[in-house]
């Protein structure tokens, strides 16, 4: 059986890096060497995330790679909770007539999530979202491109 190279190029890697690049630019106002110093990027152990190219990109930005332990799905709990919150608060509540309508709703939701419901390790208490929904520690940026 042929092993895949850690040097991965092509579509899956571009798709994996796209939200990282968008998020860094939106959050830090620029994209360049060291601009995301101190940022920890949580990702799974998929080949696109463990590839040399992806890891090189994180090092270039000054970000830290944060994969979960192998065979420990609970390590993705923060991301899983975020996805559930997104579904419960937006995607399962509305029907969207167009992709543009969905894109705008996602941008609005992401802003509300980041600015009002999110908390970080430096915050001493959690803030609750609508209907008492507890916000997760995952802070997202406007990763929905125009």
Q: Given this model, what pLDDT does residue 23 score? A: 87
Asked whether the beta carbons of 96 and 102 are under 8 A apart, the reply is yes
Question: What average pLDDT does range 38-61 have in this prediction?
Answer: 89
Using the predicted structure, report yes or no on whether residue 2 has a pLDDT greater than 50.
Answer: no
Using the predicted structure, report yes or no on whether residue 137 has a pLDDT greater than 50.
Answer: no
Q: Which tens digit of pLDDT belongs to each residue from 66-76?
A: 887 777 766 67
Q: Which tens digit of pLDDT belongs to each residue from 36-47?
A: 998 988 888 888
List CB contacts of 50: < 8 A, sequence separation 6 or more.
Answer: 6, 67
Q: Given this model, what pLDDT does residue 96 score? A: 95
Residue with the larger pLDDT of the pair 18 and 131: 18
Residue with the larger pLDDT of the pair 130 and 64: 64
Q: Given this model, what pLDDT does residue 36 score? A: 94
Q: Given this model, what pLDDT does residue 3 score? A: 37
| Residue listed under structure tokens 């600015």 | 115
Instruction: Read off the pLDDT band of 10 (50, 70, 90).
Output: low
Phi then psi for residue 104, to 5 deg, are: -65, -40
List CB contacts of 146: < 8 A, sequence separation 6 or more.
Answer: 103
Mean pLDDT for the chain? 75
List CB contacts of 120: < 8 A, sequence separation 6 or more.
Answer: 137, 139
């Amino acid at each position: 059986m042929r092993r895949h190279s850690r040097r991965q190029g092509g579509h899956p890697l571009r798709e994996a890096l796209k939200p990282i690049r968008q998020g860094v630019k939106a959050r830090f106002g620029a994209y360049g060497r060291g601009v995301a110093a101190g940022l920890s990027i949580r990702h799974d152990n998929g080949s696109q995330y463990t590839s040399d190219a992806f890891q090189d990109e994180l090092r270039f930005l000054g970000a830290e790679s944060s994969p979960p332990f192998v065979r420990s799905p609970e390590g993705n709990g923060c991301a899983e909770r975020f996805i559930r919150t997104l579904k419960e608060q937006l995607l399962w509540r509305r029907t969207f007539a167009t992709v543009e309508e969905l894109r705008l709703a996602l941008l609005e939701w992401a802003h509300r999530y980041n600015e009002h419901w999110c908390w970080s390790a430096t915050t001493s208490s959690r803030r609750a979202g609508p209907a008492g929904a507890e916000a997760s520690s995952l802070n997202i940026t406007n990763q929905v491109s125009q």
